[in-house]
Structure formats: C-alpha cells, structure tokens
Amino acid sequence: MNLNAIDRYAKSLIKEAGHKIRVSFFSTIDIDSKADANDLVTNIDREVESFFIERVRQDFPEHKMVSEEGFGDEISSLDGVVWFLDPIDGTMNFIHQRRNFAISLGIYVDGVGMLGYIYDVMRDELYHAAKGEGAYFNDERLPQLEITPLEEAIIGINASWVAPNHRVENEKIIELVRRCRGTRSYGSAAIELAYVSSGKIDAYISMRLAPWDIAGGIVIAQEVGAVATNLKGETPHLLGSDTFIVTRPGLHEEILSNYIRLK
C-alpha cells in the first residue's frame, strides 16, 4: 500500500471539500436537528460527507468509510483500511459563527492510525501527521510537547461537565478548574485536539465523543508526544462512542487519578 499516495490524495480531497464549504456561505444553508433540538446538521455536512465517500469508493473500493451522517459503512472490526471522517466537526459553530469548525479525518490500517488531518476550514490551517514522520501545521513541523505543571495548564473542557451531570462527579471537575491556569471550550473536538497538539492548550477532556471526532486528531497528537485515552486510561477503541482525554505528557496521569470520577 502506498501511504504517501493516499496522503496526497486525502489532502487534495480535504482542500477541495474546504473550498466547497467556504463557497456554501454564498447560498442558503438548510438546517435540521437530529437526536435533539441542539444536535444540528446541515445540507453541507451531508454534501461534504457524500463527496468524500463517492470519491473514496470510486478510487479505493476496498477501503471502509466510517462517518457521521450515515453515508458510510457499518463496521464491526478495524481490519483493513478504515477512513474515519467528520465532514464538519463543530456544526453549531459552522451555523452560528461561520468559523471554528474543522474537517476531521483519520486513516487507520488494521486498527493503527497511519494518517491524521484536522482542517480548520475558515483559517485555511491544516494540521496533519503520518505515523512515525512527525506532525505538521501547514508546512511547519510541530515540536514535541514538553511537560507543563497543572497550575500552568489551560484545559479544554465544556461547562456541561462542571455543572451536575450523570456522567462524572462535577465537584472533582470544579477542583480541576480551580487548580489549573484557565479553561477554554472551542466547540469542536477536532480543533481542541489540534490545539493540544500544537501547544495552544494543554489538555482536552470530553465525556462523549464518536470515532470520527478523534481518529484523525489522535494520529497528530501521538506524533508530538501527547497522550490520548478514554477516561479509564484505555486506548480509544474507535468502534463506538466513548469518553476521551488528550494531554501533553505529565498531565494525563495527574488529571485521571486526581480529578476524574466516572459515575
């Protein structure tokens, strides 16, 4: 398998899809809701996903596609080549802000993340990595992450987990929020992963993410020495939704053992 050729192909699809998304703002966008009133999807999410899937099925018919809007394949194992695609990660931002959303793509071979991409469409910023070859922000190589103490760390976390909720003990999360330097919430898991990988924030925690939210970002994060697991400390399994944490080295163990109590 020629991973370099797949890498070039994936990058060109991402750039073409990004152009389609930017152009979509010149016409009316249709907005629907899915599981609940705040779980939004647009015709652009669906069109971008279909665009990727049609191309990949035509050019790599043996590859599997796992994607959010239902045009991809149902998989029960990670055997072979699997593309994990979120056509727009941060749909609420796409609709309300017209920025702060990304195309998220990870390409795995027999369960091993080989290629990862997070494309911040409006900033034209592509975070990308190939396993063993380092991670990049556009053409710039990202440095290895260094250890930062929690007191100097910025943590990406959604305020939902600070309020009482049924997934995690919020009193412990309040302690974490008080102890760290500051918190941020960008509304796109992919962008938060890209920001951990490029040192803009130091950790990102979520109680529920899907494989397409994290698959690409994990490949990038691992290339710069970040640690990505679920909140039990296990490797994310990518066959269904799970909890998630990614941090620069040193913070992972401290946050998991002292501040996370799953219910």
Contacting ligand IPD (CB under 6 A), which of 111, 134, 187, 250?
187
**Number of residues in contact with Ca ion, rule: CB under 5 A?**
5
Contacting ligand IPD (CB under 6 A), which of 72, 90, 106, 156?
90
120 binds Ca ion (CB under 5 A): no
49 binds Ca ion (CB under 5 A): no
CB of 7 to ligand IPD, least distance (A): 24
Contacting ligand IPD (CB under 6 A), which of 7, 69, 89, 223?
89
**DSSP per-residue letters across 33-83:** ESSSTT-EEEHHHHHHHHHHHHHHHHH-TTSEEEETTS-S---SS--SEEE
Q: Which does 100 bind (CB under 5 to 8 A by kind): Ca ion, ligand IPD, none?
A: none
Bridge-partner residues for 65, per DSSP?
A: 83
Give 188 or 230: the residue with its C-beta nearer to ligand IPD: 188
Question: In this structure, are residues 156 and 258 in contact, taking their beta carbons and an 8 Å threshold?
Answer: no
In a 10 Å sphere around its CB, with 0-12 CB exposed, 13-18 middle and 19+ buried, how is residue 95 labelled? middle
CB of 38 to ligand IPD, least distance (A): 10
Question: In this structure, are residues 166 and 95 in contact, taking their beta carbons and an 8 Å threshold?
Answer: no
49 binds ligand IPD (CB under 6 A): no
Q: Which of 59, 29, 194 is nearest to 127 (CA)?
A: 194
CB of 250 to ligand IPD, least distance (A): 25
Question: In this structure, are residues 178 and 150 in contact, taking their beta carbons and an 8 Å threshold?
Answer: no
86 binds ligand IPD (CB under 6 A): yes
Question: In this structure, are residues 196 and 204 in contact, taking their beta carbons and an 8 Å threshold?
Answer: yes
Give 68 or 223: the residue with its C-beta nearer to Ca ion: 68
Contacting ligand IPD (CB under 6 A), which of 135, 153, 154, 209?
209
89 binds Ca ion (CB under 5 A): yes
Which structure tokens are listed for 73? 């394949």
Q: Which of 260, 262, 212 is nearest to 236 (CA)?
A: 212
Q: Which does 209 bind (CB under 5 to 8 A by kind): ligand IPD, Ca ion, none?
A: ligand IPD
189 binds ligand IPD (CB under 6 A): yes
242 binds ligand IPD (CB under 6 A): no
| Helix (H/G/I), strand (E/B), else coil: 242 | strand
Contacting Ca ion (CB under 5 A), which of 7, 49, 86, 120?
86
Tell me, letter by letter, the H, E, C secondary structure of 15-41.
HHHHHHHHHHCCCCCCEEECCCCCCEE
192 binds Ca ion (CB under 5 A): no
Q: Site residues (CB under 6 A) for ligand IPD?
A: 68, 86, 89-91, 158, 187-189, 206, 208-209, 213
